[in-house]
A and B are shown apart, each in its own frame.
Chain A
Amino acid sequence: MTKIFLIAKNSAREAFRQKLVSLILAAAVALTLFSMWAMKLDLGHEQLKFTANFTAGALGFFGAVVSVVLTCRLFYSEIENRTAATLLARPVSRFQFVAGKLAGVAAMLAIFALAVLLAGAIPLFLTRQKLGLLPDEMFLGGRPDLKWAGYAVFGFLQYVKLVAIAAMACLVCAASRSMVFAIIASFMVCAAAVVSCSEFFSGGGFLLNAALYIVPDFDIFENSIGFIFGGVNWAQFFAAFFYGVIYIFAFLILSVWAFASREI
C-alpha cells in the first residue's frame, strides 16, 4: 500500500501542475458561477432546478474531460519519459503502478469535484434566498426545498462516476500504443456510457451488443440529481455507489492485465 500511496502522491502532484487541468477547472467554476445570471430571469419555482442543473452539467462535462485527459497524460508521460521503466525496474508491480496512477488521478478529481460543487453552492444559496422572499402562493406545486445533504451526496456520486471514467481511460491507455488514440478512444467509451448504452449501441451487431455489458450505464448516477430537492434515497445511492465501485475495480483489474504484457 505504501508504494501505491507514494506513486499516487507523485501523480497527484504532477496532475496539479498540468495547466490544462487548471484551465478546465477555471472554465467549470466560471460556468457554474454563470448560473447566477439566471437569478435575473424569472423562471419561478423552476429557477432553483435550473441553477442546480448548471452545476451538474459543469461537473459532468468538464469532469469527464479532466478524467480522460488527465489519465491519458499521466499514464503516457510515464512511458514516454521512461520514468515508468525506472520505476518498474524497482520491486514495483504493474498493479502497484496502475493503481497508484489511478489513485493519483482520483485525488485530483476529488479536488476538482469539490471546487465545482463549492462554486455551485453559491448561486444555489443565493437563488434560494431570493425565492424565500416570495410569497407561498407564487409556488403552485409547493415551495421547492433545497437539501444540502442531498447536494453533497449527489456530488459524491458524480465523483464516483468521474473515477469510473478515469478507470475506463486507464484500460484504454494500457492497451493502446499512442496517447492521441487513447484520448479519442476513451472519449468514445465515455460518450457511450453517458449517452445511455442502449441508445448508443442500438441496432449493432454481436460485438456492439457485447459492449453493452462492458461499458457502464451512467444514467444511474444522473438520476441522483433528484437528491438535491427530494432528499437522499439511500437505496438508490447504494445501488449507484456499488455499481460505480464494481466498475472501477473491474477496469483496474483489466488495466493491470493489459499492462502486464506490455513491453516498456
Chain B
Amino acid sequence: MESVIEISRLTKYFRSGIRGILVRALNEVSFAVRRGEIFGLLGPNGAGKSTAIKIMLGLLKQNSGECRIFGEKIGEKTKSKIGYLPEAPNFYGFLTAKELVKFYAQMSGMRSADAEISAENALSLAGLSDCQDRPLSTFSKGMLQRAGLAAAVAHDPELVILDEPNSGLDPIGMSDMKDLILRLKASGKTVLICSHMLREVEQICDSVAILYKGEVAAFGALDEILGRNSEALIRVKNPTEKFFGAVEKSAAEFGADLKVEKGGGSLADFFNKIVFERRGK
C-alpha cells in the first residue's frame, strides 16, 4: 500500500544551555504511514514525538535523514493536504468558533464562501454547531479541542495529524473523539495520532511506532507487534479453575499446546515492557 508519510533515518539535534551543548532529539528514526490507516506515534515524555511531528509539518528542519509526505518534501503543496491539531491548542480567544475554523480553512487555500460552508460542516462534525457563534474565550478545554479538530479537518485534508487529541476531554468527549477519528478513517483519510492514552490508541490504531529517547523502539502493525496473528484470544466471562482444566485437557486431546491464563496482553503492557527494557539497557 502507498505510503503517505515516509521517515527515513531522521536525526535532529538541539543546542541546549549557554554553552550550546548538543542534545539529540531524534536518532536515525525510520517509519512509514500507509494511506488510509490510523497510525499511533507513541512514547514517553521527551521521546521525540513532537519533534518528529514538527519536522513533518516543516516547522523544524532535520540535521540528516529524509521526511517525505505524499512522496514529496514538505512544502506549500503538501501542507495544503495536511490537517493539524496541536497539543492543548491555544487559539485567538476573540474569534468565534466559526470564524476560527473559517480562518484556518482560508489559510489552507479555500475561498471565503467555500470556507464558510466547510466551517459549518466541520463544526457540526465536531458537535459544536450550537455554539459556533460563541467566542472561543468562553469555551472549555474540551470544546477548544473539538474546535481545533474542526479547524484541522475543515479543508478536507488527506492526512490528519492529531497531537494528543484526547487532552482535556472527559470520557464522553474521548468516546466522541474516537468516533470522529474512525469516521475520518472511513472517509479515506490517513490519521496520525500522537498520544499517551494507550487504551484509546489500541482500540483505533492499525499501526504504531514507539519512540524512546529519540529512537524507534518498536514499529509495525498493531496485530503483529502484539502477537495477535500468532495467538488467539478467547474472552470468557466468570471462568473457574475447573473450566481452565477442562479446556486445557480437551485441547491436549486435539494435540494443541494450550495454556489458559487470566486476562490478556494489552498495548499498555507492551508499551511498559518496551520502555522498561530500554531503561534497563
Q: Interface on A for B, CB 8 Å cutoff?
A: 2-3, 6, 10, 13-14, 17, 81-83, 85-93, 263-264
| Cβ–Cβ contact A82 & B90, under 8 A | yes
Could you tell me the distance between the alpha carbons of A91 and B109 in the complex, rounded to whole angstroms? 7
Q: What are some 18 contacts across the A-B interface (CB < 8 A)?
A: A6-B107, A13-B95, A17-B94, A81-B90, A83-B90, A83-B91, A85-B59, A86-B86, A88-B58, A89-B82, A90-B80, A90-B104, A90-B107, A91-B77, A91-B79, A91-B107, A93-B76, A264-B59
B220 at the interface (CB under 8 A from A): no
B92, closest chain A residue (CB): A10
Q: In the complex, what residues of A have CB within 8 A of residue B173's CB? A: none
Q: Interface on B for A, CB 8 Å cutoff?
A: 54, 57-61, 76-77, 79-80, 82, 84, 86, 89-92, 94-95, 103-104, 106-109, 151
Could you tell me the distance between the alpha carbons of A2 and B103 in the complex, rounded to whole angstroms? 11
A5, closest chain B residue (CB): B106
Q: In the complex, what residues of A have CB within 8 A of residue B103's CB? A: 6, 10
Q: In the complex, what residues of B have CB within 8 A of residue A83's CB? A: 90-92
| Cβ–Cβ contact A89 & B90, under 8 A | no
Q: In the complex, what residues of B have CB within 8 A of residue A93's CB? A: 76
Q: In the complex, what residues of B have CB within 8 A of residue A264's CB? A: 54, 59-60
Q: In the complex, what residues of A have CB within 8 A of residue B77's CB? A: 91
Could you tell me the distance between the alpha carbons of A17 and B94 in the complex, rounded to whole angstroms? 9
**A-B residue pairs, 6 tightest by C-beta:** A81-B90, A89-B57, A91-B76, A91-B79, A89-B84, A90-B107
B60, closest chain A residue (CB): A263
| Cβ–Cβ contact B107 & A3, under 8 A | yes
| Cβ–Cβ contact B92 & A89, under 8 A | no
| Cβ–Cβ contact B84 & A86, under 8 A | yes
Q: In the complex, what residues of A have CB within 8 A of residue B90's CB? A: 81-83
| Cβ–Cβ contact B76 & A14, under 8 A | no
Q: In the complex, what residues of B have CB within 8 A of residue A10's CB? A: 92, 95, 103
| Cβ–Cβ contact A14 & B61, under 8 A | no
Q: In the complex, what residues of A have CB within 8 A of residue B59's CB? A: 85, 88-89, 263-264
Q: In the complex, what residues of A have CB within 8 A of residue B91's CB? A: 83, 86
B57, closest chain A residue (CB): A89
Q: In the complex, what residues of A have CB within 8 A of residue B61's CB? A: 263
| Cβ–Cβ contact B79 & A90, under 8 A | yes
Could you tell me the distance between the alpha carbons of A86 and B89 in the complex, rounded to whole angstroms? 8
Picked from B60, B86, B95, B108, the residue with its CB within 8 Å of the CB of A91 is B108
| Cβ–Cβ contact B92 & A14, under 8 A | yes
Could you tell me the distance between the alpha carbons of A154 and B151 in the complex, rounded to whole angstroms? 45
Could you tell me the distance between the alpha carbons of A176 and B95 in the complex, rounded to whole angstroms? 29
| Cβ–Cβ contact A6 & B106, under 8 A | yes
Could you tell me the distance between the alpha carbons of A83 and B94 in the complex, rounded to whole angstroms? 13
Measured between C-beta atoms, what is the minimum distance from B91 to chain A in Å? 7
Could you tell me the distance between the alpha carbons of A93 and B74 in the complex, rounded to whole angstroms? 12
Q: In the complex, what residues of B have CB within 8 A of residue A88's CB? A: 57-59
Could you tell me the distance between the alpha carbons of A264 and B53 in the complex, rounded to whole angstroms? 12
Could you tell me the distance between the alpha carbons of A90 and B106 in the complex, rounded to whole angstroms? 10
| Cβ–Cβ contact B54 & A85, under 8 A | yes
Name, among B60, B77, B94, B107, the residue most crowded by chain A CB atoms within 10 Å (CB to CB): B107
Q: In the complex, what residues of A have CB within 8 A of residue B94's CB? A: 13-14, 17
Could you tell me the distance between the alpha carbons of A6 and B54 in the complex, rounded to whole angstroms? 24
